[in-house]
Structure 1
Amino acid sequence: MEDGATRITIASRLFPPEPGAAAYRLGRLAAGLSRHGARVRVLTTLPPRSVRTRAVAGLDRDTRSGTPGAVTVRRWPVLRDSGGNVRGYIQFASFDGPLLARLLGTRSDLVVVEPPPTTGVAVRLVSRVKRIPYVYYAADVSSTAAAGIGINPAIVRVLTRVESWVMRGAAHVLAVSEGVATEVRALGVDPARVTVVGTGVDTDTFQPQASPDDQDVATLVYAGTMSEIHGAEVFVRAFGRIAAEHPGAELVMLGQGTERADLERLADSLAPGRVRFEGLVAAERVAQVLGSARAGLASVRPGKGYDFSFPTKMFASTACGTPVIYAGVGPGATVVRENDLGWAVDWDEAAVAEAMTMALARPVPAARRADLARWTTANASQDSVSERAVAAVLGVLHRAEEPFGDHGR
């Protein structure tokens, strides 16, 4: 394969400017592959109206040169749930069904695909027909999560088989953490085909605020998915405990998820008028709100199948120079404690309330913000993550012994 002629397709529901860890990392992956001379085509969705800007059309139009190093984005309208998410069987089908035809009509040397496994099924089928390899970017393991939240065991067994089939068919699997890699290997994937690339944040977007007039306000900010796995409920309940003691403080919830409506009702009952829900907003808005907060909030609810996960939102907070309150289990708690990034507590409203009280006690010193941002750039930047991911993706194409097409039974 000649340098400059490599054609790589990325298939994902999420891509910038839609916010989210998957969108950020895939945006960086696309940019990194293009810097290595690949022609990158992204098959994704039309983002929700709340984050749809002129920049979307401008970016997609300006990158359609078809030359080596170009990134071309092709967006498809999909069904979204009431919260604006592409989540659920019908929503997935509205993307995965058309994706089959889109992939068949796209010339590719390799495809990179993100969860859910249904999208992986579409990619594996096309991979088999066109005899091209694909790389699965495993940010999570859906079957493990489904078992953790109490999905019918029969459904979990089917999902496990499908997910195993998809991952075993991949030429390579990229895992965002060692915990995810362990779950991937448990699905029968050859360990030699699994690379831990880590997880990080876009430190070009997430960084301390430049304006001295907007450096510190008495807010606590949750920015991310509001689902049963994350358990953001603990922050609303904890804030309800301390709201009266801090009349000028506010809890800000950015993002969507299956629990948002319940959280809004809970907030109205526990701290009426004190919890602001902004929904899905652009990454720049997330950075602005985090950069002036007293603390960012991140959580992994124990016993829900995601005890091994690493919420990227904690790094979005520290990249903006804001300490994080981490509630729950997983490797994130250890990282917070060992690197003095804020407070790591149990998934318990009393413990979280105590951490919130400490965070609201005083403004975050400028030197503290600078230290947190420097640590994040050095240790959790998406740049280093994307470099490892790019190397692994290109390695599939460059290894002479790597068979193309179907890699699993």
Structure 2
Amino acid sequence: MRILMLTQYFPPETGAAQVRLFEVAKAIRNQGHEIEVVTAFPNYPNGIIPPEYRGKFYMKDSIENIPIHRTWIYPVQRGKFWKRLLNYFSFVFSAFYGVLKAGKADYIFVESPPLFIGFTMIFAKWVKRAKLILNVSDLWPESAVSLGLVTNKTLISLAEGLERRMYKTAWKISTQTEGIIQSLKDRGIPPEKIVFLPNGVDPELFAPIKPDEELQEKLKLKGKFVILYAGTMGYAHGLEVALQAAEHLQKEHPEIAFLLVGDGSEKPRLMEMAEEMNLDNVRWVDFQPITEMQHYYSLAEISLSTLRRYKLSEGVRPSKVFPGLASAKPLIYVGEGEGAKIVEQSKGGVVIPPEEPLLLAKTILELQQDPILRKTQGERGRDFVIKHYSWKSIVGQWLKDLGL
């Protein structure tokens, strides 16, 4: 079977979506299918296209023998909303050429958001005469409206119209969470059109190892009890709760340190907030390749996942939950809904409500004082994801549900 993956985000970019899509692509290939990718030149999250891709409109390369067709994009890190729209639409139209350059396809796997890739999706279906599998990893524009990030009624109306057209055009709609599945059913999408493709993890990439002493020295974490947050730092993640907990712990527990690895739209504001709070117990590290993350987890005693309280958060499964559990370190999950249920089922950590920094600080202290509990929870969490959330088993079941 020949499958074409269409996505704006893909390695060597770093980020949750990039890692997930690469793992899905590898698992599809390992199941015996042919797969090609049409994507943009790398530019996320720093808004800089690497030298080897600059000055070109199109380039073909590969990663681990997966053919990749890359097309031009207007790079942007952060800034005004119109610049972000330029970023989206520049790839929407340049990707037409990538689709033409790609080989024959029986199925086209399309990652959304960004929602505007729907225009490219419709073009790809017409050109390739292939069945469309629309992978909805976030309900846009609904989630952006819920968070108050998009308020223009005209834009919301146009986006909702495109969203409906995409759902109608797709042969199957693939989703990451049970919450999205229920939302699609509520919109009248037939249940037989929906398939489940949840987040997963490669357990070997996050197998526990001895602390990386060189990295420990570099980050000035020797002798520290480290709380690790690794992933996107966006508005929905509500990472203020970690900084407020750090402030509460700083004076009486200087041995506790927070290591925040990643990037996102909120990172500059969070770093400014930490500076204003005079936090010397917080370390900041940019996004790292997934192959390096094992070394950062080796420094941690506890991993952390946070979400802000908002309407759609109950249907969210943060991707950072699975590496956190796979690393055999207890996970503190600040949030509600599906992510919380997974942590509870795993018995690999503690769940607390969102936006309660004093409770987070208290939970950290309780785990610090109970090394036996930390060890037990860590082992249970790793066993759980190996059994239920390895990419091999997840993608295998997804392909089976599609009848492929």
Match of 1:31 in 2: 26
**Cα distance in structure 2, aligned partners of 1:293 and 1:23:** 24
The residue identity in structure 2 corresponding to 1:381 is S
**Cα distance in structure 1, aligned partners of 2:323 and 2:88:** 27
Match of 1:351 in 2: 359
Identical positions, percent: 23
Alignment of 1:110 with 2:110, yes or no, is: no
Q: Structure 1 residue 351: deviation in Å? A: 1.5
User: In terms of mean alpha carbon deviation, does 134-143 or 153-162 score higher?
Assistant: 153-162
Equivalent runs, 1:7-406 vs 2, <5 Å: 7-48=2-43, 60-61=61-62, 71-82=66-77, 88-107=84-103, 108-116=105-113, 117-150=115-148, 151-152=150-151, 154=153, 155-210=155-210, 218-347=225-354, 348-361=356-369, 363=371, 368-393=377-402, 395=403
Q: Deviations over 1:333-373 (max 9, x none)?
A: 12323432212111111221212222333657656533332
Q: Structure 1 residue 164: deviation in Å? A: 1.9
**Cα distance in structure 2, aligned partners of 1:77 and 1:217:** 44
Q: Structure 1 residue 129: deviation in Å? A: 4.1
- Specify the SS of the correspondent of 1:27: helix
Q: Deviations over 1:245-294 (max 9, x none)?
A: 22122211111111111100111122433222212211123232123312
The residue identity in structure 2 corresponding to 1:104 is L
Q: Structure 1 residue 30: deviation in Å? A: 1.7
**Cα distance in structure 2, aligned partners of 1:52 and 1:203:** 31
The residue identity in structure 2 corresponding to 1:24 is V
**Cα distance in structure 1, aligned partners of 2:296 and 2:34:** 35
Which is bigger in relative contact order (C-alpha 8 A, separation at least 6)?
A: 1
Q: Deviations over 1:173-206 (max 9, x none)?
A: 1111211111223344322110123221221212
Where does structure 2 lack aligned partners over 5 or more consecutive residues? 54-59, 217-221
Question: Do the aligned partners of residues 47 and 356 (structure 1) sit closer, same or farther apart at CA in structure 2, a change above 3 Å counting?
Answer: farther
8 A contact 1:146–1:156 mirrored in 2: no
Question: Do the aligned partners of residues 322 and 52 (structure 1) sit closer, same or farther apart at CA in structure 2, a change above 3 Å counting?
Answer: farther
The residue identity in structure 2 corresponding to 1:375 is F
8 A contact 1:224–1:255 mirrored in 2: yes
Q: Structure 1 residue 171: deviation in Å? A: 0.8
TM-align CA RMSD:
3.0
Where does structure 1 lack aligned partners over 5 or more consecutive residues? 1-5, 64-69, 399-409
8 A contact 2:212–2:298 mirrored in 1: no
The residue identity in structure 2 corresponding to 1:41 is E
**Cα distance in structure 2, aligned partners of 1:20 and 1:389:** 23
User: In terms of mean alpha carbon deviation, does 184-193 or 222-231 score higher?
Assistant: 184-193
**Cα distance in structure 2, aligned partners of 1:26 and 1:239:** 33
Q: Structure 1 residue 239: deviation in Å? A: 1.3
Q: Structure 1 residue 139: deviation in Å? A: 1.5
Q: Structure 1 residue 392: deviation in Å? A: 4.2
Question: Do the aligned partners of residues 82 and 21 (structure 1) sit closer, same or farther apart at CA in structure 2, a change above 3 Å counting?
Answer: closer
**Cα distance in structure 2, aligned partners of 1:284 and 1:245:** 35
Q: Structure 1 residue 172: deviation in Å? A: 0.7
The residue identity in structure 2 corresponding to 1:109 is D
8 A contact 1:207–1:291 mirrored in 2: no
The residue identity in structure 1 corresponding to 2:305 is A
The residue identity in structure 2 corresponding to 1:34 is R
Question: Do the aligned partners of residues 226 and 352 (structure 1) sit closer, same or farther apart at CA in structure 2, a change above 3 Å counting?
Answer: same
The residue identity in structure 2 corresponding to 1:144 is E
Question: Do the aligned partners of residues 83 and 360 (structure 1) sit closer, same or farther apart at CA in structure 2, a change above 3 Å counting?
Answer: farther
**Cα distance in structure 2, aligned partners of 1:80 and 1:341:** 39
* Runs of 4+ displaced beyond 6 Å: 49-53, 212-216
Q: Structure 1 residue 320: deviation in Å? A: 0.6
The residue identity in structure 2 corresponding to 1:158 is L
In the superposition, the TM-score normalised over structure 2's length comes to 0.84
